[in-house]
Amino acid sequence: MKIAVCVKQVPDTWAQKRLDPDDKTLDRESVDGVINELDEYAIEEALQLGEATSGEVVVITMGPDKASETVRKALAMGADSAIHVCDAALHGSDALATSLVLAKVIGDRGFDLAIFGSESTDARMSVIPAMVAERLGQAQLTFAGKVDVEGSTVKIRRIAEHGYDEVTASLPAVISVVEKINEPRYPSFKGIMAAKKKPVERLTLAEVGVPADQVGLAAVASAVESFESAPPRAAGTVVTDEGDGGVKIAEYLSSQKFI
């Protein structure tokens, strides 16, 4: 089986994220980049499915030069090769443009499965997997808490508010996985050494075959008009429990008309 796994580099969760005042995009240069934590579950799932079917796992990322660190980490975990789409014209791309590029790369290379994280911790949109499925006309099997492949059929548990749905489709399909579907492995020393020799294909937009006027800041379908720091929360009241802490909270709740 040929499996693609889409990973994104995001600012470290502890980093102070800021928007660039000039073009109002996330300033990715001034912060440390890490692999989107939720994508580690996608990589692990891809590796397990790849191992079970003697298949091939290809990492795909779209991002600036330094996203190559993230590619290396995925390769060190065990993926076979990587595709890194990197082009200055991509700066400022919105979800529509990102999904256009990813879908083109995935569609052109004929993967059986494309596996995604369920959300990027910077954009937090949770839309790319659905957009890619729509663009490819493939089955959308998202928010999977369990994935089983049997022959040319794939079955997932779609985790939902009410519990879960069992959803089935024929390959090829687009999957996103939720946190805790598995326990992502740590790269071993051997894996880290091996990753240095694994092939990474770097593609420009022209090589992908997407016109430059359909991506980046030039093509955004929504625009940030202004932004500001949220006003700090007014300092609250903090008391020490002297045996009546619960009563004190009840009084507060009653003053706010909750009870």
Ligand X SMILES: Cc1cc2nc3c(=O)[nH]c(=O)nc-3n(C[C@H](O)[C@H](O)[C@H](O)COP(=O)(O)OP(=O)(O)OC[C@H]3O[C@@H](n4cnc5c(N)ncnc54)[C@H](O)[C@@H]3O)c2cc1C
- Residue numbers of the site for ligand X (CB under 6 A)? 13, 37
Which residue type, as a one-letter code, is found at position 226? S
Closest to ligand AMP by CB, 64 vs 248, is: 64
Residue whose beta carbon is closest to ligand X: 37
Site membership for ligand AMP, residue 138 (CB under 6 A)? no
> Please, which of residues 79-118 interact with another protein by CB under 8 A?
94-96, 99
Name which of ligand AMP, another protein, ligand X, none residue 61 binds, using a CB cut-off of 5 to 8 Å depending on partner kind. Answer: ligand AMP
For another protein, which residue of 160, 193, 206, 218 counts as binding (CB under 8 A)?
Answer: 160
The residue type at 55: G
Site residues (CB under 8 A) for another protein, limited to 136-155: 137-143, 155
Binding track, positions 49-88, relative to ligand AMP; x by CB under 6 A: -----------xxxx-------------------------
Token code pair at residue 225: 């008009």
Q: Which of 110, 101, 89, 100 is nearest to 213 (CA)?
A: 89
Dihedral of CA atoms 106, 111, 117, 123 in degrees, nearest 10, equals: 10
As a three-state string, the secondary structure of 130-192 is HHHHHHHCCEEEEEEEEEEEECCEEEEEEEECCEEEEEEEECCEEEEECCCCCCCCCCCHHHH
First to last CA, the chain: 58
Q: Pick from ligand X, ligand AMP, another protein, none: which does 94 bind, CB < 5 to 8 A by kind? A: another protein
125 binds another protein (CB under 8 A): yes
Distance separating alpha carbons of residues 60 and 119, to the nearest angstrom: 16
Residue 117's nearest CA partner among 48, 186, 174, 50 is 174
Q: How far is the CB of 189 from ligand X (least distance, A)?
A: 23
Q: Rule CB under 8 A: is residue 34 a binding residue for another protein? A: no
Position among 119, 140, 144, 147 found at the interface with ligand AMP (CB under 6 A): 119
Q: Which among 121, 127, 144 has a CA at the least distance from the CA of 45?
A: 144
Sites of contact with ligand AMP (CB under 6 A): 6-8, 36, 38-39, 42, 60-63, 98, 102, 116-117, 119-120, 123-129
